[in-house]
């Protein structure tokens, strides 16, 4: 479990929602920080953890909600597997090195944030 100032995150989904709220209120972050985080976690990491995959290039709102619901069932002790899960998805999709680098970086920001909350 990851703890945030008295709040306990028992699932990755809870932590990710809190991370998104933190990004939305952080004026020092770029305006596309939330979008980048959602893409890295929901589109490229969730499928590697066994969750739903988006049908097209862009994730629909319903697909994002399904991915978040999936993360609500994944305990925070699985955070250590996220980078490998994402790498597998990015390789399976034959993405460019720039896309891999960007999404690996965005996932790392989320993972670092989660570890800072303990």
- How do residues 72-118 score in pLDDT, each as one tens digit? 999 999 999 999 999 999 999 999 999 999 999 999 999 999 988 87
pTM of the predicted model, to two decimals? 0.90
How many independent structural domains does the chain possess? 1
**CA 28 – CA 25 distance, rounded (Å):** 9
Q: What percent of the chain has pLDDT over 70?
A: 94
Compute the mean pLDDT over every residue in the chain, rounded to the nearest whole number.
92
Residues whose CB falls within 8 Å of the CB of residue 47, separated by 6 or more in sequence, listed in order: 53, 85, 89
Give the three-state DSSP class for 75.
strand
- Domain range spanning residue 78? 2-116
Reading the block at residue 1, the tokens are 């479990």
End-to-end CA separation in angstroms for the chain: 9
- In whole angstroms, what is the distance from residue 34 CA to residue 79 CA? 19
In tens, the pLDDT along 19-73 reads 999 999 988 888 899 999 999 999 999 999 999 999 988 999 999 999 999 999 9
């Amino acid at each position: 479990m990851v703890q945030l100032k008295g709040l306990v995150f028992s699932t990755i989904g809870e932590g990710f929602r809190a991370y998104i709220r933190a990004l939305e209120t952080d004026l020092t972050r770029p305006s596309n920080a939330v979008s980048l985080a959602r893409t890295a976690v929901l589109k490229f990491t969730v499928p590697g953890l066994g969750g739903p995959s988006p049908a097209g290039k862009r994730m629909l709102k319903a697909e994002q909600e399904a991915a978040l619901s999936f993360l609500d069932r994944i305990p925070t002790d699985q955070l250590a597997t996220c980078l490998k899960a994402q790498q597998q998805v990015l390789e399976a999709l034959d993405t460019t090195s720039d896309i891999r680098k960007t999404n690996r970086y965005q996932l790392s920001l989320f993972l670092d944030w989660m570890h800072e909350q303990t």
